[in-house]
Amino acid sequence: MENEGKRYLFVQKSSGLNKSDFAASLGLSKAYGYQIATGRAKAPRQTLQRLALEYRINLNWYLYGQGEPAASDEAAIELLEHEAAAGHGREVEEYVNKRTLRLPMSLIAPYKPEKLQAVYVSGDSMTGVNINDGDVVVFYPGLIQGNGVYVVSVENALFVKQVEFDGPGQTILLISANPAYEPRRYSGYELESIRVTGKVVACWHRV
């Protein structure tokens, strides 16, 4: 399909609608739809928006022939090439390699993917909340919003733990969702060694 007109016809046939009804679904007259299909006219912006929203069409494919016809329902998340311990701490390297992890948008909704990061999980201390060894947790850096599951840095170690806050700046309790691991309480000067990095908003189970 080397031109926009043929790609337009491809979408129309794939929709199961006749040419007139397909044009109408895009806010076009049958005559204008015919002009687009024959290369005599270009689809206006409003039509492109409807192709993307109603028919899930990849506009790079429609306009330039690049990629696949169907729009991707994936989110690109920055994945830190490092493991966060669900168990005993893992040292945090000063410079962490990063790559892109693609996950379903439905997994992270309503958060914007560009606001999130992800990290591998190592260990079994969070199995009680269905976070297992080898999973990937997605977290929102800087989001500190009440008790919950967070990615936490303690000195040179990185953890995924349940966090409970006892008063602002007074006590932080790190709790494992596995009774084999004792809770860890930090208060006073010990708080200088701990940094709650961000709240976990999703977990991707690797198979």
Are residues 83 and 39 located together in one domain of the fold?
no
Q: Residue 54's pLDDT is what?
A: 82
The 10s digit of each residue's pLDDT in 130-164 is: 888 888 999 999 998 889 999 998 887 888 999 99
pLDDT higher than threshold 70 for residue 10: yes
Whether residue 69 lies inside any domain: the answer is no
Identify the band that residue 92 occupies on the pLDDT scale cut at 50, 70 and 90: low
Whether residue 55 lies inside any domain: the answer is yes
The 10s digit of each residue's pLDDT in 20-50 is: 999 999 999 999 999 999 999 999 988 998 8
Whether residue 129 lies inside any domain: the answer is yes
Q: What are phi and psi of 86, to 5 degrees?
A: -105, 70
Mean pLDDT, the chain, rounded, equals 86
CA angle (98, 100, 101) in 5-degree steps? 120
Domain tally, the chain: 2
Are residues 98 and 163 located together in one domain of the fold?
yes
Are residues 28 and 49 located together in one domain of the fold?
yes
Whether residue 172 lies inside any domain: the answer is yes
CATH number of residue 20's parent domain: 1.10.260.40
Identify the band that residue 114 occupies on the pLDDT scale cut at 50, 70 and 90: confident
Pairwise CA distance, residues 65 & 33, whole Å:
19
Are residues 90 and 28 located together in one domain of the fold?
no
Q: Residue 21's pLDDT is what?
A: 94
What's the number of CA atoms in the CB half-sphere (13 Å) around residue 135? 21
CA angle (70, 73, 79) in 5-degree steps? 130
Q: Which domain holds residue 35?
A: 4-64
Are residues 38 and 112 located together in one domain of the fold?
no
Pairwise CA distance, residues 71 & 160, whole Å:
33
pLDDT higher than threshold 60 for residue 185: yes
String of DSSP letters for the chain? --SHHHHHHHHHHHHT--HHHHHHHTT--HHHHHHHHTTSS---HHHHHHHHHHS-B-HHHHHH--S-SBPP-EEEEEEEEEEEESSS-EEPPSS--EEEEEEEHHHHTTS-GGG-EEEEEESSTTGGGT--TT-EEEEEET---SSEEEEEEETTEEEEEEEEEETTTTEEEEE-SSTTS--EEEEGGGGGGEEEEEEEEEEE---
Are residues 53 and 78 located together in one domain of the fold?
no
* Global pTM value: 0.64
Are residues 81 and 152 located together in one domain of the fold?
yes
Kindly state the percentage of the chain with pLDDT values over 90: 38
Are residues 107 and 200 located together in one domain of the fold?
yes
Identify the band that residue 107 occupies on the pLDDT scale cut at 50, 70 and 90: confident
